[in-house]
Chains A and B, each alone.
Chain A
């Protein structure tokens, strides 16, 4: 893992910033430092509409005819691009509130920053961005829109920190798949704690609806390594029974079970041709996103 000191948006720094907007900007700056073009540029031949040029857009996409007519830099947008409606699907169940002792951000906070940063990036490209917040069902749904007002609303929603104890990722995905009529991009941010088969069936539903999905699997470092040494009472965050456990005795079994579950998810996502990205919350968000977006850009 790269040292957090080398990135602008390392969780330690972000944790000290209260405003999600500033956090998102910090991340975006970090991302932009490493990447100067939009990863979601269209290449479709079917013209859709014009929009204003923004720094970062390629000059070759400026419609010089419009410039000649109106003296304004307009960018030609094609059908593919205009249809890219990104919807963030954010898990706000209780388990997302977990923050390990060595972590600076909870999974929920980390996810919110990631979502905010990506939303900011997308909206900068004038791509409409929506938001769905769920726990055991879709709690709040903000349809995609591309205005700066909309961004503010998104950030405000993301900033709220209320949660419910239960998660039901599979059901929520089915529900969302039904709600989102037009195909678009789903950016799922969750710890995905639940039955992996249910979750994959939910994703399958998106696929069926021609949606594209990126799965950010947000996990605390503790969940990946189970670093506890002393006996402790482990209390479930979603109402599970609590147990007194000797971590030494359970670590091996736990890690094996966890790894099996992660592998199942990865395999399932690959099969559905969806991007799976594990995001440990101690990883600098910009670095993680930049790496991911870079990979994504290369693929497209």
Chain B
């Protein structure tokens, strides 16, 4: 407790007045010569203890009244614990943490977005709360926080400009990440008094990373370093309605004009009211190409399904968009999800069958080739069968994909040729067969750096206990279509013989080796490895009929198509990216060292040259921090392409978390945290945190209350004056 006018404290000596009065009165008491003394003594004896206590209560009460009155004049202020005393001349270092995750685009009933309110609050802090001589840093809060003003700035107008210019991001919120950055800034400052202004929309999921035990220390340390002033800039409604269109799931990114492709988008209702008959539109190349209606229960989701046939080859951009006719959805940002589909005439596949059977239908390659060209009119895949050992005399670059059915051995030259083909962006899929030798395959592919998984000793199962593919284990984008088992069920096939696959670890390229799908016993069924710009997939079982009945299943043809289209996409990275996933383009030789223009979703154009190295002509673009369509063109060339970057999931759930409760749970002591909403509250909150809350009014009330109490007790005890 501190006092604004401590000089008055000297008057505390006045509490002695009741004692003095008591003593003086005692001295000046009238003396009564009394005859019936025995009776008086008798009465007094019985009541002496009670009388003493009553007298003491009254005396203490009177002293308290004086003490409280004097204290009220001294204007005491109550201060939160653990905060250094701040005088009017002490300077402050403030870190303003401004939430710019995309949920801040939510519009409240006042027609302002949370971000507009947050900026206004930040401006209020800089203009009205901080004073000349105070220094400021500004952190933009998201899952990838960045400093808008890094070094402590004394130039408040600069800080205001930076705040005004701060963009809304397409990122999720991660309080812990921002807390780490704020800690770094706070530690770098030598200013003794530090404050953090945390301006956010209070989403529950923003605390997700802070729930770990290890995060607790960060929040506790932050509260030790600085007073945390929490400013809620959200709509303030606890039941915030929001619908989200998730990034569409494409049947394939690479299609041919002969094939219609599925485009599915999940519509998620994050609100508490059911939303029925929602109109969902499919837009391709700027034109509406279809619409459907879905009903979504509260907290649930529904899938909007489209089937679209791309007639023209090339790169097509599109979106699945929710039509919020009633405008009940506060956050429009996630009502549309972009996608890109590449259409090629066909994918060329070289099918190698090292040991063909005399009866072609017994060959390992038979069903594979049949699956690739089921209908001559629909030749999306263009398979070419090569029977016999070795790759001699074949120009591998003429093909997009090489499929080896019943792999046996590879010569040194073949290994090198295959390795070069893959590194340059080609796709290889390897099926073992009855003539395969695990050791030879392992050593051969290992030597060329193409081995996705080591083949273990062959396992044979009886026909009744065959293994099945488990769609729920699918993580790979090439097979995502099969996760929905309503139409196609991969698990229909039985596998009797297979090589257990042990995925290799590629320490140089983390994430390069991926299990695509597993058997129902957990063993990997297909494993992919990214090598250079290309991909190698190895299967645990054969492509032919001898080890499984997969070729007889309705899912066989789609599976082969998915694998071929995935592998056939070439060196260029897939077109539908996550936020921050780099965009990678393999260009023809003619585009070497030419400037490549990237037009971002915000229509900003950036340019950098393509590179020419051992992999050929490539272009890599890392600034994919915004969601939307990125258009790429090479200056002086007709090469054009496009990429889609989807919004991250998780940010659309606007569920409110009370900062007092959540922050305390995370590790900020309640007394180190103040929470405000309006500008007035912010000023009051900060003043209270800095200088404490004045309690003279409460003391005056207490004095009045105690005077009444004294009067009542004096009456009751039979004492006056």
Contacts and interface: CB of A to CB of B under 8 A. Distances in A.
- Secondary structure at the B interface, as helix, strand, loop or mixed, is helix
Contacts of A232: 29-32
B34 A98 contact: yes
Contact of B35 (A95, A230, A243, A257): A95
A231 B718 contact: no
A235 to B, nearest CB: 5
Nearest to A236: B37
A269 B225 CA distance: 91
A29 interface: no
A177 B290 CA distance: 135
Contacts of B212: none
A234 interface: yes
Contacts of B43: 250, 253-254, 257
Interface string B10-42: 000000000000000110011111111111111
B42 A257 contact: yes
A235 B35 contact: no
B312 interface: no
Nearest to B51: A249
A68 interface: no
A244 interface: yes
B511 interface: no
B44 A238 contact: no
A250 B31 CA distance: 16
A98 B51 contact: no
A98 B34 CA distance: 7
B360 interface: no
Nearest to A256: B43
Contact of B34 (A107, A235, A244, A261): A235
B54 to A, nearest CB: 8
B44 A220 contact: no
A237 B36 CA distance: 9
A175 interface: no
B88 interface: no
A248 B719 contact: yes
Contacts of A243: 40-41, 44
A257 B51 CA distance: 18
A11 B33 CA distance: 21
A261 B25 CA distance: 33
Interface string A66-107: 000000000000000000000000000011111000000001
B719 A191 contact: no
B35 A249 contact: no
Nearest to B29: A233
A234 B34 contact: yes
B53 to A, nearest CB: 12
A245 B55 CA distance: 11
A234 B34 CA distance: 6
A258 interface: yes
A257 B39 contact: yes
A236 B32 CA distance: 9
Nearest to A259: B39
Contact of A233 (B32, B36, B54): B32
Contacts of A254: 36, 39-40, 43
A223 interface: yes
Nearest to B30: A232
A37 to B, nearest CB: 37
Interface in A119-149: none
Contact of A191 (B26, B35, B46, B720): B35
Nearest to A191: B35
A47 interface: no
B44 A250 contact: yes
B40 A250 contact: yes
B33 A230 contact: no
Contacts of A253: 42-43, 46-47
A12 B13 CA distance: 52
Contacts of B717: 246, 248-249
A193 interface: yes
B721 interface: yes
Contacts of A107: 35
A253 B43 CA distance: 5
A97 B35 CA distance: 8
B30 A249 contact: no
A291 to B, nearest CB: 25
Contacts of B42: 253, 257
A174 to B, nearest CB: 21
The 5 closest A-B pairs by CB, nearest first: A248-B718, A253-B43, A236-B37, A95-B35, A98-B35
Given A97-B35, A253-B42, 12 more contacts: A94-B35, A95-B35, A98-B33, A98-B34, A107-B35, A235-B32, A236-B37, A242-B31, A245-B40, A249-B54, A250-B43, A258-B39
13 contacts: A97-B35, A98-B35, A232-B30, A234-B32, A234-B40, A235-B31, A235-B34, A243-B40, A244-B26, A248-B720, A249-B51, A249-B717, A253-B47
Interface of B: 25-26, 29-44, 46-47, 51, 54, 717-721
